């Protein structure tokens, strides 16, 4: 069973309805050695996180970042990225996450 977590900005953010710009996300993951195979497809992007026992994919689309069933190391990295992007890690029902636990 998959469980998606997202990095999102609130609707009150200064950018378009809180969206994270592709260029902002790419700038963050390109500086981070834990990511490899970063792909910019213009209207979407993806990066492979190599910081866990297995590689995991992070996908940017429509101003949000999506990870399917993240490991604990990936969740920790998501929180780190969210903080640098002035955003939060949230689940499908709106619950927010810090480090390895829900708020």
- The pLDDT, as a whole number, for residue 53 is 84
Compute the distance between CA of residue 41 and CA of residue 52 in angstroms, rounded to an integer: 25
- The pLDDT tens digits of the residues spanning 72-85 come to 999 999 999 999 99
pTM of the predicted model, to two decimals? 0.85
Q: CA–CA separation, 27 vs 4, rounded Å? A: 23
Q: What average pLDDT does range 85-99 have in this prediction?
A: 88
Is 95:102 a contact under the CB 8 Å cutoff?
yes
Q: How confident is the model at residue 37 (pLDDT cuts 50, 70, 90)?
A: confident
pLDDT at 100: 56
Q: Which residue has the tokens 């490991």?
A: 71
């Amino acid at each position: 069973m998959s469980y998606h977590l997202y990095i999102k900005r609130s609707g009150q953010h200064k950018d378009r309805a809180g969206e994270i710009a592709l260029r902002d996300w790419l700038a963050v993951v390109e500086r981070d050695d834990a990511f490899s195979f970063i792909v910019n497809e213009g209207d979407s992007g993806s990066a492979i996180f190599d910081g866990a026992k297995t590689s995991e994919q992070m996908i940017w689309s429509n101003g949000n970042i999506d990870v399917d069933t993240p490991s604990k190391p990936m969740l920790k990295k998501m929180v780190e990225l969210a903080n640098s992007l002035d955003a939060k890690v949230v689940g499908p029902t709106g619950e927010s996450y810090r480090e390895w636990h829900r708020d």
